[in-house]
Each structure stands twice: as structure tokens, then as C-alpha cells.
């Protein structure tokens, strides 16, 4: 009998106000690693346990968020509560299908998610896969970042794999130097990295996706999948490089959350031991489905399922 795997995502979830047309907005919940965890759970069903680790408040919005996760089958035992803070909020503005964001997150409870290393370690105990992002890192204090590195080091020593999407949001960082030094620290405890080429070109000067592959592998990361919009995904896995074309997508409505959805499809497949090139195809399909809907998450009944074999 195959043992059911456990995946845990660490990061920030926010209240999302997403346009639905005619000046109207729909309230939901989103956040890069949360989007990935949610799509993982929907794609895998009962084939894996999926949890989300963060901090929220004790207000009605926070209660609604946790209740939604419970209803959708995610493990919420790793969600801490804050007496004084609540969730951050962001609003999506669309220009055609491209998006921009306005954020209200400075006092979000998620900023303290790694302040207690013992609690954080307990929240990811026995996880087979742990996913986090550059946003997870950027919202933390210097001490909390160090706590998180230590906790991930211990988890890897216990057999967990760590997935990291650099997902650089410059407004959250003090400088490019801060971005580079902090991300390098987390790459030292990363097994799978899922960057976007535009970020890597802007903040590291990579000339092309192949250069991004080379840089990450030089840091010792064993598995790299570089997203590049509608361009091919550049993959390094098992010592080989691949360039996997991205299928054309019709009827695009909103590109919000495409990278997070790709991560979910890719990681869901890898959690089931599907080979990396096929995992890329699952990631591409998940991303393509996402951008044909408004907001960062696919409607629940439309999430592509992913099965072993």
C-alpha cells in the first residue's frame, strides 16, 4: 500500500478583491503559497494531505478564511492566531488581461509566522514537501528569517524536500542586495526552485532562462523549473536540461496567480513521483486553466485533477 504524502505551504494569505466586470469586485482569499497549497489539495484530492502554515487574527474575516480551508479539506492546524492583528488585503486592477495590485498588509498577522521556531517546527513536522516563496521571506523580520532557515534545515535532515519560488516583489524588500543575500540563504535549504525568468533577469541580470538554470544549479539546487510567461519552461532535473514549449491559451481573462498555479501542478505531480518533464506539463495545464478565470484561484470544480501513473 502506497503511503499518502504530506505537503505543507508556508506563507501569507490575504483578503482578495478581484474584479468580475462592470466595476464589481468579488471578495476571496489569496496569497502566493496559499494559492499553491489550495490548488494542490484540489488537484490531488485524497491522494495527499495538504496543509497551510500562517498566522491570522481572531476576527470574522480570519474565521471565514480558516473555515473555508477546513471545508476544502486543508489542514489548518498550522495556522496561528493573533489577538491584535488580522489579515492583509489586496485589490486587483486589470488592464486588458494584465494586472496590477494595491496592497494593505503592513500590520498583517502573517508577518509573525516564524517568530516562534518551536511552533513552526511542529507545524511542518513529518511533511514530505514544504513550499515557501520570496514573499514568505520578505514579510519576516531578520530574526524570523533565520528561524525559518533553521527549521527548514532540520526538516530536510528528517527527509523533507523544500520547494522555493523566489517570487520577488521589490516593494517588500529594502534593496536588491537584501533580495539577493536573503534568497541565497534560502536556496541553501532548497531542493526544488520554481523561479520566473522576468524576476531573475531584473534582479540578477540573467541574460536568458538557460543562464538562470546555470546560476541556480551552481548554488547546488538539484531541480529547477524556470517559468517564462508564454515562452518555454526551462527545466533542470536528474542532471539534464530540457526546454518544454508552453501551449498557447485562448480566452485569457486574468493572469493573476498563473505562477502559483504552475507551482501547484508541478509539485502535485512530483509529490506523486511523476517525472519532472511530465510535471511541467501538469504545471502548464494548471496555469492555463487559472488564467481563463478571474482571480488567483480556479473555481473548485474546474481544477484539473492529477493522478499517479
Q: Please state whether 230 falls in left (phi above 0), alpha (psi between -120 and 50) or beta.
A: alpha
**What span, in angstroms and rounded, lies between the C-alpha atoms of 179 and 204?**
10
**Which of 82, 199, 254, 260 does the annotation list as catalytic?**
260
The b-or-e profile of 152-161 (16+ CB within 10 A means b, else e) is: beebeeeebb
- Alpha-carbon distances of 108 from 34, 63, 144, rounded to whole Å: 15, 15, 15
Q: Residue 293: helix, strand or coil by DSSP?
A: coil
Residue with cell 494559492: 35
Smallest Cα–Cα separation from 161: which of 120, 183, 193?
A: 193
260 included as an active-site residue: yes
Helix, coil or strand: residue 1:
coil
Rounded to whole angstroms, how far apart are CA atoms 25 and 141?
33
Q: Which residues are catalytic?
A: 260
Amino acid at each position: 500500500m502506497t503511503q499518502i504524502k504530506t505537503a505543507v505551504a508556508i506563507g501569507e494569505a490575504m483578503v482578495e478583491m478581484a474584479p468580475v466586470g462592470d466595476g464589481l469586485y468579488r471578495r476571496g482569499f489569496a496569497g502566493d503559497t496559499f494559492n499553491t497549497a489550495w490548488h494542490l489539495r484540489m488537484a490531488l484530492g485524497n491522494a495527499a494531505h495538504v496543509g497551510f502554515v500562517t498566522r491570522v487574527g481572531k476576527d470574522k474575516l480570519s474565521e471565514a478564511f480558516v473555515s473555508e480551508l477546513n471545508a476544502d479539506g486543508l489542514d489548518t492546524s498550522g495556522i496561528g492566531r493573533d489577538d491584535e492583528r488580522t489579515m492583509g488585503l489586496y485589490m486587483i486592477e486589470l488592464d486588458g488581461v494584465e494586472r496590477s495590485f494595491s496592497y494593505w498588509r503592513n500590520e498583517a498577522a502573517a508577518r509573525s509566522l516564524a517568530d516562534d521556531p518551536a511552533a513552526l517546527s511542529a507545524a511542518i513536522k513529518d511533511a514530505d514537501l514544504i513550499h515557501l516563496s520570496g514573499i514568505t521571506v520578505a514579510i519576516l523580520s531578520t530574526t524570523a528569517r533565520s528561524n525559518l532557515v533553521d527549521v527548514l534545515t532540520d526538516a530536510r535532515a528528517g527527509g523533507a524536500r523544500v520547494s522555493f519560488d523566489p517570487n520577488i516583489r521589490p516593494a517588500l524588500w529594502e534593496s536588491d542586495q537584501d533580495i539577493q543575500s536573503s534568497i541565497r540563504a534560502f536556496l541553501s535549504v532548497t531542493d526544488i526552485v520554481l523561479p520566473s525568468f522576468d524576476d531573475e533577469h531584473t534582479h540578477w541580470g540573467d541574460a536568458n532562462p538557460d543562464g538562470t538554470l546555470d546560476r541556480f544549479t551552481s548554488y547546488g539546487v538539484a531541480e529547477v523549473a524556470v517559468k517564462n510567461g508564454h515562452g518555454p519552461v526551462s527545466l533542470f532535473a536528474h542532471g539534464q536540461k530540457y526546454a518544454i514549449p508552453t501551449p498557447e491559451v485562448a480566452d485569457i481573462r486574468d493572469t493573476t496567480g498563473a505562477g502559483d498555479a504552475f507551482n501547484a501542478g508541478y509539485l502535485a505531480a512530483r509529490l506523486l513521483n511523476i517525472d519532472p518533464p511530465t510535471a511541467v506539463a501538469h504545471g502548464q495545464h494548471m496555469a492555463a486553466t487559472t488564467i481563463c478565470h478571474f482571480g488567483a484561484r480556479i473555481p473548485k470544480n474546474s481544477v484539473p485533477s492529477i493522478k499517479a501513473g
